[in-house]
């Protein structure tokens, strides 16, 4: 958003511009933690359970933030702080989401939404890795996959981004649909369906339906990537999109594995990848990532340089020769 004026930011978020910027140009990214506010940031004050983030708007401006977005009362208080853009909205979260959608449309990348009961973060990391050699790819950090985290990640994507890979999490029905409405995905990746969030959804069929909101959000001509032989997803597929399956008996499947060297059948075409892992679950997630890359017109091959999000299978060898596998992440 660096090239956007304060007026354009206000228009995109559908908010009121209370104070213009002292200099031209727009923000580089958005933050919701005033401690992260600084030059180039737009601080968005969200109301939480214990505190209203908007009350920290003056501190964000004092830290050098490009601007702040808060409820009208907090926006008025921020006007007396250090110079900067002040934007007012009755619903700052809604404004954040609208701004993210506007920036996604300005970038006009191919957008891949990744969800699943397990494996979505590592699949997102893998997809970024297989696309990086050929496409300017931006992927959401760690598990910024909620109605707050996802729009923040979209706003962090730089100009020139060709592919935007976004993780999408959910705790109940309707939440994936909300995220998809913000991101407007072209490709939907559902990594797995498992017994999670049953305290809210009650049954595996309901989990599958909630995850399939990502398929429902695809435009005609979009692509769904799903596990081969997953019966719970069958009723949610559409005739006006392409479906690619991965895994055993899938369109994208593992043919042979020799430690770090993998032979993959990519929809009838053989490709060889060299990867820095041997775990079976990561190999399966890699197949999902390769399928998504194929949907975007890319055929990955050769060495893959992968950086997994923290706590997802990193190996560390101690001085005494013992190997520690850090797979301790828990949402």
**What is the rounded end-to-end Cα distance, in angstroms, of the chain?**
31
pLDDT at 316: 84
Domains with residue ranges and CATH for the chain = 6-92 (3.40.1390.10), 108-303 (3.40.1190.10)
Helix (H, G, I), strand (E, B) or coil at 233: helix
Count of other CB atoms within 10 angstroms of residue 178: 17
Q: What is the rounded distance in angstroms from the CA atom of residue 139 to the CA atom of residue 309? A: 11
H/E stretch holding 267: none
Q: What is the pLDDT of residue 331?
A: 61
pLDDT score for 115: 97
**What is d(CA 30, CA 28) in angstroms, rounded to the nearest whole number?**
7
Looking only at the bridges linking them, the beta strands covering 137-139 and 110-115 are: unpaired
Question: What integer pLDDT is reported at residue 209 of this predicted model?
Answer: 96
Please report the pLDDT score of residue 206 as a whole number.
Answer: 95
Contacts of 3 (CB under 8 A, 6+ apart): 25, 26, 159
Spatial contact of 289 and 252, defined as CB atoms under 8 Å apart? no
Report the predicted TM-score, pTM, of the whole model to 2 decimal places: 0.92
Print pLDDT tens along the chain (331 aa): 888 999 999 999 999 999 887 777 899 999 999 999 999 999 999 998 888 999 999 999 999 999 999 999 999 999 888 789 999 999 999 999 999 999 999 999 999 999 999 999 999 999 999 999 999 999 999 889 999 999 999 999 999 999 999 999 998 999 999 999 999 999 999 999 999 888 889 999 999 999 999 999 999 999 999 999 999 999 999 999 999 999 999 999 999 999 899 999 998 999 999 999 989 999 999 999 999 999 999 999 999 988 888 777 778 899 999 999 888 876 6
């Amino acid at each position: 958003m660096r090239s956007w004026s304060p007026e354009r930011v206000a228009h995109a978020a559908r908010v009121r511009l209370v104070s213009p910027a002292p200099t031209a140009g727009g923000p580089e990214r958005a933050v919701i933690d005033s401690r992260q506010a600084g030059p180039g940031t737009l601080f968005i004050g969200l109301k939480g359970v214990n505190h209203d983030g908007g009350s920290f708007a003056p501190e964000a401006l004092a830290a050098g933030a490009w601007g702040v977005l808060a409820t009208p009362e907090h926006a008025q208080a921020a006007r007396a702080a250090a110079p900067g853009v002040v934007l007012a909205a009755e619903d700052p979260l809604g404004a954040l989401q609208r701004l993210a959608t506007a920036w996604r449309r300005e970038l006009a990348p191919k957008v891949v939404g990744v969800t699943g009961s397990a494996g979505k973060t590592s699949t997102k990391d893998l997809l970024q890795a297989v696309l990086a050699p050929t496409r300017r790819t931006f992927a959401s950090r760690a598990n910024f996959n909620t109605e707050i985290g996802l729009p923040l990640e979209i706003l962090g994507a730089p100009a020139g981004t060709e592919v935007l890979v976004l993780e999408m999490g959910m705790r109940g029905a309707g939440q994936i649909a909300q995220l998809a409405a913000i991101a407007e995905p072209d490709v939907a990746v559902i990594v797995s369906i498992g017994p999670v969030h049953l305290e809210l959804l009650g049954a595996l069929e309901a989990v599958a339906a909630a995850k399939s909101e990502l398929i429902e959000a695809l435009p005609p001509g979009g692509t769904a990537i799903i596990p081969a032989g997953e019966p719970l997803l069958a009723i949610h597929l559409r005739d006006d999109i392409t479906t690619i399956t991965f895994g055993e008996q899938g369109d994208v499947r593992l043919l042979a594995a020799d430690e770090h060297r993998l032979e993959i059948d990519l929809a009838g075409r053989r490709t060889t990848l060299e990867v820095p892992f041997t775990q079976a679950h990561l190999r399966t997630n890699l197949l999902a990532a390769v399928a998504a890359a194929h949907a975007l017109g890319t055929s990955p091959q050769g060495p893959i340089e992968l950086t997994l999000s923290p706590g997802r299978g990193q190996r560390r060898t101690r001085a005494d020769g013992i190997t520690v596998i850090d797979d301790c992440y828990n949402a």
